[in-house]
């Protein structure tokens, strides 16, 4: 399926936009402030892991359900030991599928525009796959193997379609990709600002080579970091520094100004930090 075909299909599903907006509003209320659900969202985003959690969790249902289909074929629908192995794989996939849906919702909540629509399609298809496999599991327990295997195959088709759309979101739209992934250098000391324009409590925003850099002082020490939030590219110079931390205005991620490490999600990747020195009245920076 080419990107064009996928885009045309998504455009025809005109209900996706309004549906996505409604669920987004509802989730926004549920996840507001410092509520336990907001903390759960940060956990599900994967900030603690340094990597989005959702793509890792999706491997569980895809792998388990695919394994179940292979075992079903090997069992030939007889319901012997191999067939029971397939049943267990379906159950494992359903448990992993619930975790994948919940973590996917946590990531999707921070999407907008086309990513939100594509994410709604991805989520709907995968939730449909989970429903098909859950029904298949119930039928397997009752001993109705024929219909159960049929539903599993339908579910497998759905989950692979959903996986394709999820991959398209990442590799074509850049959803969940570290926005500083391609920023490199400068490897040599490079002039970034006049020494006296870098002051405590304010940012100087400079372009140095291919990098957008923020310079400021913290306790007199000159700090230089990327101006771009790793989560979705938010501007890190719009909100004041608090407790030595940068705050992203878009989804609330916080980063340590000295180390660039994530203090608070949804960001999972640290932002680049530059070494600094002063020479002849100029602040110079380089990547460690
Ligand atoms: S862009 Fe999402 S937290 Fe910065």
pLDDT tens by residue, the chain, 288 residues: 677 888 888 888 888 888 888 988 998 888 877 788 888 999 999 999 999 999 999 999 999 999 999 999 999 888 899 999 999 999 999 999 999 999 999 999 998 888 888 999 999 999 999 999 999 999 999 999 999 999 999 999 999 999 999 999 999 999 999 999 998 879 999 999 999 999 998 999 999 998 999 999 999 999 999 999 999 999 999 999 999 999 999 999 999 999 999 999 899 999 999 999 999 999 999 998
Any domain includes 184 = no
Same domain for 45 and 136, yes or no, is: yes
Q: Which atom of ligand 1 is nearest to the CA of 234?
A: 1
The domain boundary, picked from 171, 198, 232, lies at: 171
Cis status of the peptide bond prior to 186, with omega within 30 of 0: yes
Which pLDDT belongs to residue 234?
Answer: 96
Same domain for 123 and 26, yes or no, is: yes
Same domain for 45 and 135, yes or no, is: yes
Q: Which atom of ligand 1 is nearest to the CA of 232?
A: 1
The domain boundary, picked from 121, 137, 171, lies at: 171
Which pLDDT belongs to residue 1?
Answer: 60
Any domain includes 132 = yes
230 close to ligand 1 (CB < 6 Angstrom): no
Q: Which two tokens stand for residue 199?
A: 């002051």
Residues, the chain, total? Answer: 288
97 HSE (CA, 13 A, CB side): 31
Same domain for 164 and 95, yes or no, is: yes
Which pLDDT belongs to residue 13?
Answer: 87
How many C-beta atoms lie closer than 10 Å to residue 30's C-beta? 14
Any domain includes 165 = yes
Pocket test for ligand 1, best of 108, 226, 229, 238 (most atoms within 8 A of CB): 229
Any domain includes 177 = no
Any domain includes 179 = no
Same domain for 156 and 252, yes or no, is: no
> Cα of 56 to ligand 1 centre, how many Å?
21
236 close to ligand 1 (CB < 6 Angstrom): no
The domain boundary, picked from 137, 171, 205, lies at: 171
175 close to ligand 1 (CB < 6 Angstrom): no
Same domain for 161 and 199, yes or no, is: no
Q: Which long-range contacts (CB under 8 A, 24 or more apart) does 73-79 make?
A: 77/145, 77/146, 77/149, 79/143, 79/145
Same domain for 254 and 136, yes or no, is: no
Q: Which atom of ligand 1 is nearest to the CA of 110?
A: 2
Same domain for 154 and 240, yes or no, is: no
Any domain includes 71 = yes
Which pLDDT belongs to residue 216?
Answer: 96
Which pLDDT belongs to residue 36?
Answer: 86
Which pLDDT belongs to residue 10?
Answer: 82
Tell me how many domains the chain contains.
2
Cα 25 to Cα 18, 164, 181, 250, distances in angstroms: 11, 26, 30, 16
Q: Which two tokens stand for residue 19?
A: 């549906």
Same domain for 63 and 152, yes or no, is: yes
Same domain for 15 and 152, yes or no, is: yes
Please give the backbone phi and psi of residue 168, each rounded to the nearest 5 degrees, phi first. -60, -40
What domain range includes position 106? 3-171
């Amino acid at each position: 399926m080419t990107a064009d075909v996928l885009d045309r299909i998504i455009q025809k599903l005109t209900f996706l936009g309004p549906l996505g907006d409604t669920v987004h509003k509802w989730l926004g209320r549920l996840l507001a402030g410092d509520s336990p659900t907001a903390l759960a969202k940060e956990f599900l985003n994967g900030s603690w892991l340094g990597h989005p959690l959702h793509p890792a969790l999706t491997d569980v249902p895809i792998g388990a359900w695919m394994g179940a289909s292979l075992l079903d074929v090997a069992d030939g629908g007889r319901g012997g030991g191999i067939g029971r192995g397939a049943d267990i794989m379906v159950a494992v996939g359903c448990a992993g599928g619930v975790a994948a849906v919940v973590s996917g919702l946590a990531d999707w909540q921070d999407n907008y525009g086309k990513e939100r629509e594509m994410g709604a399609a991805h989520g709907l298809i995968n939730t449909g796959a989970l429903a098909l496999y859950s029904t298949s599991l119930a039928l397997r327990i009752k001993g109705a193997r024929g219909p159960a295997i049929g539903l599993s195959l339908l579910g497998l088709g759905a989950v692979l379609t959903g996986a394709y759309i999820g991959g398209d979101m990442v590799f074509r739209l850049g959803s969940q990709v570290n926005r500083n992934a391609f920023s490199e250098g400068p490897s040599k000391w490079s002039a970034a600002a006049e020494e006296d324009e870098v002051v405590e409590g304010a940012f100087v925003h400079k372009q140095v080579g291919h990098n957008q850099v923020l310079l400021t002082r913290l306790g007199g020490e000159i700090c230089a970091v990327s101006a771009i939030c790793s989560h979705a590219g938010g501007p890190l110079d719009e909100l004041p520094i608090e407790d030595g931390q940068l705050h992203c205005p878009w989804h609330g991620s916080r980063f340590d100004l000295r180390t660039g490490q994530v203090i608070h999600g949804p960001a999972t990747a640290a932002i680049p930090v530059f070494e600094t020195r002063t020479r002849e009245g100029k602040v110079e920076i380089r990547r460690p």
